Structure 1
Amino acid sequence: MIQAKSIHKKFDQLHVLKGVDLVVNKGEIVSIVGASGAGKTTLLQIIGTLEKPTPQAGTELIIDGQSVLEMNDKELSKFRNLKLGFIFQFHQLLPEFTALENVCIPAYIAGKSKTEAEAEAKKLLAYLGLSNRMDHKPGELSGGEQQRVAVARALINKPAVIFADEPSGNLDTASAENLHELFFKLRNEFGQTFVIVTHNETLANMADRKLVMVDGLFEKNAGWVDLTNLNPIKG
């Protein structure tokens, strides 16, 4: 599903990512952990196409069989909207819109009709236990409810991969546990692929693989993959 090879990122003289290699298979849940400043979020933003890597010979980023580094901005925006979902620590819901309206936004961007978008959004919100909260705005929802709305928004276009950056970092223990269980339920029922950056050791240890990032590279542990002579994966 994802093949990233020799990913570098420099900010002036600061070399944040130093040639990261990563393979994520379809339906896999991979967690990325490490100290603050190790490069976790920068990597997530790059493989999530929100940032571009620093140009380097040999750099590749293939997602769902497509080389995203070769896309122009318009192609990349369309690919991101249709193929990728995002869940952030602070939800990033639009406060003036209801839960239902927030979930529909990516579907509208993809060109779906209001009828089609709302039908899918209602189905997702019901699946996530929010049938009676659809018309509430974010300020009227608990932290856990807001995060489930964000999950529904990430899912509405049936993306190939969901990227989560500290998804439970702003939740109480019970809500965090519920969110963690939800990720695995989604994977088991819908085959979703997840890449999760987290400081939550419980969530990290639940993943199929836990990768530890230190100073811009992954430690060579049981979850590390050597990409030498590895052919590009397709999906």
Structure 2
Amino acid sequence: MIDIKGITKSFGSLQVLKGIDLHIDKGEVVSIVGPSGAGKTTLLQIMGTLDKPDSGAISVDGVDVMRLSSNKLSDFRNQHIGFVFQFHQLLPEFTALENIMIPAYIGGKGTAEAKKRALELLDFMGLADRANHKPNELSGGEKQRVAVARALVNNPAVVFADEPSGSLDSKNKAELHQLFFDLRDKFGQTFVIVTHDEHLASITDRTIHIVDGQIKL
């Protein structure tokens, strides 16, 4: 599913990633942990094609993403990759349903198809009755579940999540963590999650430890 080899990344004189080799299988729920500044988010952004490494190779869902042009890379990201961030990043002027539909529109889907998929996901999330509510009318847990639904609307092969439960209380954290496994079981996605949450890391299929820009075995 994901193969990265020899990934390095520096910002000025600071080398953040120092030769990362990693393979993640289809359908795995993997956590990436480590101290602040270890390179976790940088690695996640490179795997998610939001940033480019200085050197190394990356294959996602069988595609050598380093060889794609900028436009083709954007299309690939829209169709094959989903993202969940710590602070949901929902657009405040749109309803929950509309927020979920946006990536589908970007991917060229028609309104009927996008709406059907978005409503299916809202129902799975237990949010069918919140479809027409705007973000300021939703709780923190509801907003994050809408963000997860948005990440899934194009049925991506992999979902990257950066501290997805970092802003939630313990009850909503537990519900969100369980949701990742429920979604994997229903839709077959791979999940790669950067987290400081020890409980989430403990229940994932595999935990990858990064220290000083390297994977600690």
| TM > 0.5 | yes
TM class by smaller structure: over 0.9
CA offset digits 1:160-213 (Å, max 9, x no partner): 000000000000000000000000111112211000000000001111110110
2:24 alignment counterpart? 24
Inter-partner Cα distance in structure 2 for 1:10 and 1:60:
16
Q: Which runs of 5+ in 2 are unaligned?
A: none
Q: Give 3-state SS (helix, strand or coil) of 1:188's partner.
A: helix
In 2, Cα distance between equivalents of 1:136 and 1:35: 37
Q: Tell me the distance in 2 between the aligned counterparts of 1:108 and 1:31.
A: 30
Is 1:103 the counterpart of 2:100? The answer is yes
TM-score normalised by the chain length of structure 1: 0.92
Corresponding position of 2:50: 50
Matched, 1:152 2:149: yes
**Cα deviation digits, residues 86-144 of structure 1 (max 9, x gap):** 00000000001000000000000000011111111011101100011000000110000
Which position in structure 1 is the counterpart of 2:128?
131
- Alignment match, 1:76: 73
TM-score (norm: length of structure 2)? 0.99
Q: Distance in 1 between matches of 2:115 and 2:183?
A: 20
Question: 2:144 & 2:119 partners in 1: Cα distance?
Answer: 16
Query: Could you tell me the percent identity over the aligned residues?
Result: 61
1:56-91 deviation per Cα after TM superposition (whole angstroms, max 9, x unaligned): 3xx110011100000010000000000000000000
The answer for unaligned runs of 5 or more in structure 1 is: 221-235
Give the alignment's Cα RMSD to 1 decimal. Answer: 0.5
**2:34 alignment partner AA:** G
Distance 2:20 2:35 in 1: 16
Structure 2 counterpart of 1:23, one-letter code: H
* Number of matched pairs: 217
Deviations 1:30-67 (A, max 9, x none): 1000000000000000000000001x3xx110011100
| Aligned residue in 1 for 2:6 | 6
Amino acid of the structure 2 residue aligned with 1:141: L
